[in-house]
Amino acid sequence: MGGVYNLVNLQLYHYAGNNPVKYTDLMGLANIEADHRFADEFRDKNGDIRSPTYLNERLAEVSKGFVGGKYKYGGEKPSTEGGEGIDCSANPLIAAERVSGESLRDRNANGILTDKKLVKLGHSQKGSLNGFDWKTNNHPNGDNIFDHITVITGEGTEIHPSSNSGTIMLIPEGSVDRFAGKKVNYEFNWRYILGKE
């Protein structure tokens, strides 16, 4: 029996299979399973559902694809893909472009880490960026210019484009901290990158 004579049809959340967290029905027409894997979801400028947590995870995975390639200061294409190599700023920018579909080039490490729209404070999680202001003889606490970026993999390692070795390396997290006068952790502000801020 249907309609108002079936008590099931009078239940408040029946439209969502009695589970309004798992299912949504914005138009009131059908059960549509929602991807609520992440609590930080938002709709981008195109109306697509995005999650900063998921985007950070993807950024780390894409960046790991550059490991073993050549380091080249100012390089724009990873040698793992037939290019000349990349440096520490191109590593996260190329990965972020591939994850978001938005152009982010023409920034150095300091330009990335001091752009408060592009990045926000991170939590040392997968896909976040460690920024380093290297110590020098004249500036044992750094010179307030960020010189280097690594990407945290979430597996106790970070991706370190090394000018000393000439390669993109996977190193234990914290291995280069001792060379820094100052270290920060940021993550990309995906809401800004994807046109929501």
Say yes or no to pLDDT of 74 above 80. yes
Proportion of the chain above pLDDT 90, given as a percent: 65
Query: How many whole angstroms from its chain centre is CA 48?
Result: 17
Of the pLDDT bands very low, low, confident and very high (cuts 50, 70, 90), residue 164 is very high
Q: How confident is the model at residue 67 (pLDDT cuts 50, 70, 90)?
A: very high
CA distance linking residue 143 with residue 173, whole number of Å:
23
Residue range 5-17, pLDDT digits in tens: 666 556 655 555 5
Q: Helices (H), strands (E): how many in the chain?
A: 4, 12
Sequence-distant (6+) residues with CB within 8 A of 165 are 71
Mean pLDDT of the chain: 85
Is 129:112 a contact under the CB 8 Å cutoff?
A: yes
Per-residue confidence (pLDDT) for residue 30, from 0 to 100? 43
Q: How confident is the model at residue 38 (pLDDT cuts 50, 70, 90)?
A: low
Highest mean pLDDT of the ranges 92-106, 129-143, 146-160: 146-160
Element (H, E) at 192: helix 190-193
pLDDT of residue 113: 97
**Looking at residue 17, what is its pLDDT?**
55
pLDDT surpasses 90 at 36: no
Predicted pLDDT at 21 = 54
Given pLDDT bands bounded at 50, 70 and 90, which one contains residue 137?
Answer: confident
Helix axes 52-64, 90-100, angle to 10 degrees: 130
- On the question of pLDDT at 40 being above 90, the answer is no
Please give the average per-residue pLDDT across 62-84, as a whole number. Answer: 95
pLDDT at 3: 59
Of the given ranges (30-44, 103-117, 153-167), which has the lowest mean pLDDT?
30-44
Let me know: does 106 contact 98? Beta carbons within 8 Å.
no
Domain 50-193 has CATH 3.20.20.100: no
The ranges assigned to domains in the chain are 3-33, 50-193
On the 0-12 / 13-18 / 19+ scale of CB atoms within 10 A, 195 is exposed
